[in-house]
């Protein structure tokens, strides 16, 4: 009986922490260094997930207390099989993005494309997309006269997983009522 109470209190403590401590998400994409990786951290060093591109397939590594507990490389056919895109619709995506509880979101984009006109068009498109959101701080550094093409993006945010899950559950109940 005491073990059950101890396990339930630990679970309730982590549920409480999911509302208090956000998941820190960072993303780096750099074509010069051929680098693409994403980190998710929650109560670091308690929990960390790293996704790195290795040999053109994502390598997922999960750490608990800095000990590697899971490491797997996913191949393209595994990704297509695991993703169920039949129920996915692009018009619903902005609705779901609004339910994410994000703070301190930023994107830093450094880029130069094959000619100055293409770089300026990318600049205009990114400013246009930036006008749709007021919660993400976007910094652009276009290089119109570079000698080679490159894209370097660094992004990050803090995601409150407790509030996000609560909002998604409310939305699901509202859909079922209608």
Residue 172, domain CATH: 3.40.30
Domain that includes residue 118, residue range? 91-178
Q: Among 82, 100, 131, identify where a domain stops.
A: 82
The pLDDT value given to residue 119: 85
Q: Among 82, 112, 143, identify where a domain stops.
A: 82
Q: Which residues does 159 contact at the CB level (< 8 Å), separation at least 6?
A: 22, 23, 25, 100, 101, 102
Does residue 54 sit in the same domain as residue 117?
A: no
77 inside domain:
yes
Q: What is the pTM of this model?
A: 0.79
The pLDDT value given to residue 32: 87
- Give the model confidence (pLDDT) of 107-121 as tens digits: 899 988 888 888 888
3 inside domain:
no
24 inside domain:
no
Distance, in Å, from the CA atom of 89 to the CA atom of 49, rounded to the nearest integer, reads 27
Residues of the chain under the 50 pLDDT cut: none
């Amino acid at each position: 009986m005491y073990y059950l109470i101890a396990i339930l209190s630990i679970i309730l403590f982590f549920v409480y922490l999911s509302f208090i401590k956000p998941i820190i998400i960072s993303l780096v994409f750099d074509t010069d260094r051929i680098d693409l990786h994403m980190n998710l951290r929650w109560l670091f060093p308690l929990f960390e997930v790293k996704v790195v591109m290795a040999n053109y397939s994502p390598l997922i590594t999960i750490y608990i207390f800095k000990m590697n507990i899971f490491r797997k490389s996913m191949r393209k056919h595994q990704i297509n099989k695991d993703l169920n895109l039949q129920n996915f619709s692009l018009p619903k995506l902005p609705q779901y993005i609004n339910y994410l509880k994000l703070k301190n979101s930023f994107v830093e984009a450094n880029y130069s494309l094959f000619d100055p006109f293409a770089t300026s068009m990318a600049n205009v498109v990114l400013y246009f997309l930036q006008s749709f959101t007021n919660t993400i701080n976007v910094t652009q550094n276009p290089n119109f006269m570079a000698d080679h093409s490159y894209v370097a993006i660094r992004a990050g945010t803090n995601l409150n997983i407790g509030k996000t899950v609560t909002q998604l559950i409310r939305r699901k109940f509202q859909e079922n009522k209608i």
